A and B are shown apart, each in its own frame.
Chain A
């Protein structure tokens, strides 16, 4: 970009998903790789070359440690290994593996540093590398922040390549043919005379050889799998109802449980009467747990039903009970002592605004639930020697720590069988449901307990996306935007989440401001300030975390300024853009959507650009103002992730991200009354259904230099693009989500 952003670097220990806390570490500790967890229970004749590849005489198993919550990373991780290992889909099995520090997420560090993703300068890169050391040393394994591909891309290809080269060494020893004359394909080493030695046949010999370390990765031109559409490994099972999710798992002797925790957030349980419940058919026990009650029965429905008969005496909420107080708290938080950070301060804002602003406005973004379709659940079996857990989770090692703290075991005695997840959107970064299952199971040692939330319980305790309030002003001159100044106030989602995860979270929260400070525009004056409001309702990362709120504020404000200036929304964004890759994204969106063409009466078109997780994304939305409300006709989404691993899956995820962003912007929020969430099920928090779903045209570009993930970045621009389109069609400016509070939709 044309100018290095000036950023207040109050501390280096700054994070979003990153985890820090004054850890001292030496170069040696960081350089040393954690032990290979596959070596621990390796059977005779089996070979493992690294933590991701296991070969025995029967089969090949690839470990895909990033959790799969629908984004298809089980398949994509396997594809990266298979690419270099020269094995084909259908020739191997996959496993999510055991939690292990070996699976530390090296991309977590990227988002945790206070530098723009477009900043590849010395300081930025050095900080990324230092943060990487911290994450490695702490062995933080996890899935989130759209990091799976960034973390895996080189690492898993290298895992495939080192395994391949070691198998070639084994083949050379066995055949006497020099390694240089050996080739690999289809899960076998090929000798010059055409003989094939299957990897499985070579396993026992390979197990005796020190794995090859230094390998050169293949050039892009030689890729067989990457960049080509693949049939996802789980697609047949997911289309035939045969893929088991956590909620479908059955363990011998298992009982079914459900819980009800004080719906008044943070409140305690003063007492309860379960006399009727205890008499009901199939009910085995009613147990008090932290701030609530569990019913254990022989069937989930019987547990749900019995729970409904229990009367509770709940303590008061520890959060402000009424929603209006939450907004009032934010409104009062724009003050110096609550400054979290001035994330960007290009130009001279004081000078630019000394005679007042040409324009100012306030924006709001509500609490929103994750509500993945599979309600949270976990099976836990506690015995004196160990704890087994079956659930789908994104922070595997932290789960072990928190369960062990309940049952009194060591972390290593907690065995997690990670499962496919029926969605997450951030919900499965949380631990409460697993802790509750562990509490019950710990009281009923020897009996596996499957704890399933009712949908109502899931809504009541869905740590939602944080609320946020933005105040913006700007200057326009000679038909151009010359200054933009956005402040926002919000509670820190990372602090709230980190508190529950037992992960300290020092320093400013980069996610408060994500999507607002980091857009690579070159505006004469560009200031972005975040104030940290006191914690209100406990919140959690919601797909794209900070950017759905802050990106909505920033891009809406920019759009309003462009209209004030009388400029064209697309042309002015392109003019202001200071980053080539991002400019190309905007230009491509303009071209594909035929920007500027006549739409006819009652129609409008809006564009938004938000960069999140290092991915520049532009969306163009077209709407019609019909008699029965706004109809969203068509959306174009253009983004650049550097390298697209699987084009079909990529398109699906982008479309899904757009649907997620639009649907919640239209109609979804969580509000609190008497400290309780008002919304209890999907009819009150619907998001998008098919009849509202527009055509969505996706274009992925590959001009960026680093590979990035696509799970989250399509979400943030959706809401502002829609608001901008509605303004173009109707003249009504929407500054608060959900929009259906102010305008009707078809």
Chain B
């Protein structure tokens, strides 16, 4: 089975019902995407498929139709994505384990709405759990990122 991840074509030999999460982590060694709950309750496994945020723990790899982007493909230390820049500016992370998913969710959300209200931010982000409680900083970072996107 072939899939495109972060611009690279990858060949994997797996069952079609293996969730994309585990194909990425255990078969391809792409570990920025995290396992948190396995049942669409935490958002730690969020990746983009053709730019749209999906929960990779719920996506059977056999059903995949589109190009996958993980946090590693969104940006890197050398070339940060605008959302990552805001996350660093506001020092959002504590343990950081949820933050790949938070950033992927926020990046996808801001693609559709670069001038969100507080309520829209809360609605878009509430399926992503942060056990460390960084929500106040996530909100601020999203507003900074939105402003930077609008001004870019």
- A-facing residues in B37-92 (Cβ within 8 Å): 37-39, 41-42, 44, 70-72, 75-77, 80, 84, 87-88, 91-92
**Are B26 and A423 in contact, with the CB atoms below 8 A?**
no
The reply to whether the CB of B18 lies closer than 8 angstroms to some CB of chain A is yes
- Distance in angstroms from A423 CB to nearest chain B CB is 4
**Are A693 and B131 in contact, with the CB atoms below 8 A?**
no
The reply to whether the CB of A388 lies closer than 8 angstroms to some CB of chain B is no
Closest B residue to A298 by CB, please name it. B26
> What A residues does B22 contact at CB under 8 A?
299-301
Q: What's the tally of chain B residues with a CB closer than 8 Å to chain A?
A: 61
The distance in angstroms between the C-alpha atoms of A540 and B85, with both chains bound, is 38
**Are B91 and A455 in contact, with the CB atoms below 8 A?**
no
The reply to whether the CB of A486 lies closer than 8 angstroms to some CB of chain B is no
> What A residues does B108 contact at CB under 8 A?
none
The reply to whether the CB of A251 lies closer than 8 angstroms to some CB of chain B is no
**Are A373 and B72 in contact, with the CB atoms below 8 A?**
no
The distance in angstroms between the C-alpha atoms of A658 and B132, with both chains bound, is 10
> What A residues does B138 contact at CB under 8 A?
690
- Distance in angstroms from B133 CB to nearest chain A CB is 3
> What A residues does B5 contact at CB under 8 A?
none
**Are A373 and B36 in contact, with the CB atoms below 8 A?**
yes
Q: Indicate the member of A659, A686, A693 with the most B CB atoms within 10 Å.
A: A693
The reply to whether the CB of A653 lies closer than 8 angstroms to some CB of chain B is yes
> What A residues does B38 contact at CB under 8 A?
304, 454-455, 681
The distance in angstroms between the C-alpha atoms of A193 and B121, with both chains bound, is 58
Option from B39, B71, B97 in Cβ contact (under 8 Å) with A422: B97
Q: Indicate the member of B15, B34, B132, B133 with the most A CB atoms within 10 Å.
A: B133
The reply to whether the CB of B129 lies closer than 8 angstroms to some CB of chain A is yes
- Distance in angstroms from A680 CB to nearest chain B CB is 9
Option from A241, A658, A690 in Cβ contact (under 8 Å) with B32: A241
The reply to whether the CB of B25 lies closer than 8 angstroms to some CB of chain A is yes
The distance in angstroms between the C-alpha atoms of A256 and B29, with both chains bound, is 13
Beyond A234-B93, A244-B31, A300-B22, whether A696 also contacts B136 by CB under 8 A is yes
**Are A688 and B75 in contact, with the CB atoms below 8 A?**
no
The reply to whether the CB of A14 lies closer than 8 angstroms to some CB of chain B is no
Closest B residue to A370 by CB, please name it. B131
**Are B77 and A373 in contact, with the CB atoms below 8 A?**
no
The distance in angstroms between the C-alpha atoms of A71 and B25, with both chains bound, is 26
**Are A70 and B132 in contact, with the CB atoms below 8 A?**
yes
**Are A70 and B91 in contact, with the CB atoms below 8 A?**
no
Given contacts A72-B94, A655-B136, 16 further A-B contacts (CB under 8 A): A70-B93, A232-B93, A239-B103, A240-B32, A240-B75, A241-B70, A245-B97, A372-B131, A655-B137, A658-B133, A659-B135, A660-B131, A660-B133, A682-B42, A688-B135, A689-B129
Q: Which 4 A-B pairs have the closest CB atoms?
A: A241-B32, A70-B95, A659-B133, A422-B97
Can you list 20 A-B pairs with a CB-CB distance of less than 8 A? Answer: A70-B93, A71-B94, A240-B72, A242-B32, A242-B77, A299-B26, A301-B21, A302-B18, A372-B95, A374-B95, A420-B96, A422-B34, A423-B131, A455-B38, A648-B91, A652-B94, A656-B132, A658-B133, A682-B37, A689-B129
